[in-house]
A and B are shown apart, each in its own frame.
Chain A
Amino acid sequence: MKLVGRKIYSGQAEGEALVTSMAISFFGGVDPETGVVVEHGHELEGQSISGRVLVFPTGKGSTVGSYTLYRLKRAGLAPVAIVNAECETITAVGCIIAEIPCVDRVPIERLRTGMHVRVDGERGVVETGAS
Chain B
Amino acid sequence: MKLTPEEQAMLDGAAGWSTRKAMEILVTLGTIYGAERMVEVTSVQVAGVSYDNLGEAGLAFLAEMAEGGGRARVLTTLNPAGMDVEDWRPLGIDATFAANQQRVLEAFARMGVVTTCSCTPYLVGNLPRYGEHIAWAESSAVCYANSVLGARTNREGGPSALAAALTGRTPAYGYHLDENRRPEVTVQVNARLEENTDFGALGKVIGAKLEGRKVVPTIVGVERASLENLKSFCASIATYAGAALFHMPGITPEAERFSCPAETVAVSQDEIDAAARSLSDAEPGEVDLVSLGCPHLSLREVARIAELLEGKQVTKEFWITTARPTKQIADMMGYTQIIEAAGARIVADTCCVVAPIRGRFTALATDSAKACYYARAKNRFKTLFMPFDEVVAEALR
Say if A and B assemble together: yes
A interface residues (Cβ-Cβ under 8 A, vs B): 6, 8-9, 32, 62-64, 66-68, 70-71, 74, 87-90, 92-93, 96-97, 104
Assess whether B221 is interfacial by the CB under 8 Å rule: no
Sorting the interface of chain B by its residue count into under 10, 10 to 19, 20 to 34 or 35 or more gives 20 to 34
Q: Min CB distance, A26 to chain B, in Å?
A: 10
Query: Known: A63-B47, A67-B54, A71-B60. Is A97-B21 also a contact (CB below 8 A)?
Result: yes
Contact indicator A64/B56 (Cβ below 8 Å): no
- Tally inter-chain residue pairs, CB-CB below 8 A: 71
14 extra A-B contacts, CB within 8 A, seeds A71-B60, A89-B29, A92-B25 = A32-B57, A62-B53, A64-B48, A67-B48, A67-B55, A67-B158, A70-B57, A70-B58, A70-B60, A71-B57, A90-B157, A93-B28, A93-B157, A93-B159
Nearest-CB residue, chain A, relative to B57 = A71
Contact indicator B57/A67 (Cβ below 8 Å): yes
Q: Which residues of A sit under 8 angstroms from B61, Cβ to Cβ?
A: 67, 70, 97
Can you give 30 A-B contacts (C-beta < 8 A)? Answer: A8-B28, A9-B28, A32-B55, A32-B57, A62-B53, A63-B47, A63-B137, A63-B157, A63-B159, A64-B54, A64-B55, A64-B58, A66-B158, A66-B159, A67-B48, A67-B57, A67-B61, A67-B158, A68-B57, A70-B57, A71-B57, A74-B57, A74-B60, A92-B25, A92-B28, A92-B32, A93-B157, A96-B21, A97-B61, A97-B159
Contact indicator B160/A89 (Cβ below 8 Å): yes
Assess whether B24 is interfacial by the CB under 8 Å rule: yes
Q: Which residues of B sit under 8 angstroms from A104, Cβ to Cβ?
A: 32
Q: Give the docked Cα–Cα distance between A93 and B26 (Å).
A: 9
List which B8-51 residues lie within 8 A (CB) of chain A. Answer: 21, 24-25, 28-29, 31-32, 47-48
Candidates B32, B159, B160; contact of A8 at CB < 8 Å: B32
Q: Which residues of A sit under 8 angstroms from B21, Cβ to Cβ?
A: 96-97
Q: Which residues of A sit under 8 angstroms from B32, Cβ to Cβ?
A: 8, 87-89, 92, 104
Nearest-CB residue, chain B, relative to A93 = B159
Q: Which residues of B sit under 8 angstroms from A62, Cβ to Cβ?
A: 53
Q: Which residues of A sit under 8 angstroms from B28, Cβ to Cβ?
A: 8-9, 92-93, 96
Q: Which residues of A sit under 8 angstroms from B160, Cβ to Cβ?
A: 63, 89, 93
List which B324-339 residues lie within 8 A (CB) of chain A. Answer: none
